[in-house]
Amino acid sequence: MAAKVIANELFPDSTITLALFRNVENVKEIRQCVMNGTFEAAILKTSMIVDPFQVIVAANKAVHQNKVGKMMTKNVHSEILFNLSPSKNISDSFRKFGAGDTDQSVFIAVIDDKTGQTLQAIQNTVKGQQVDVDEVKQLSDLNNIKKIYKLTDAELSWSPLDALVTRIAAKDIMTI
Partner 1 sequence: MERVLIKQGAEGKLYSSEFYGKPCIVKERFTKSYRHPALDKSLTTQRMKAEARALLRCRMSGIECPALYMVDIESRCIIMERVLNSVTVREYTRTLQEKDDAKNLLSLAKQIGEVLGRLHSNNIIHGDLTTSNMLIKGYGENSRIILIDFGLSYFDSVAEDKGVDLYVLERAFLSTHPNTEALFQVILDTYKDNNKTGAEDVMKKLEEIRMRGRKRTMVG
The least distance separating partner 1 from the CB of residue 142, rounded to whole angstroms, comes to 17
Selected from 5, 6, 72, 131, the binder of partner 1 by CB under 8 A is: 6
Angle at 122 between CA 116 and CA 15, to 5 degrees: 40
Which residues, in sequence order, are bridge partners of residue 17?
5, 110
Selected from 134, 144, 147, 158, the binder of partner 1 by CB under 8 A is: 158
Which residues, in sequence order, are bridge partners of residue 109?
18, 42
Which residues, in sequence order, are bridge partners of residue 5?
17
- In eight-state DSSP terms, residue 42 is E
Per-position x/- string for 36-65, each x denoting binding to partner 1 as judged by CB under 8 A, each - no binding: -----------------x--xx--xx--x-
Q: Is 156 in the site for partner 1 (CB under 8 A)?
A: no
**Contact assessment for residue 59 and residue 169, using Cβ atoms and an 8 Å cutoff:** no
Give the residues lining the site for partner 1 (CB under 8 A): 6, 9-10, 53, 56-57, 60-61, 64, 68, 150, 152, 154-155, 158-159, 161-163, 165-167, 169-170, 172-174, 176
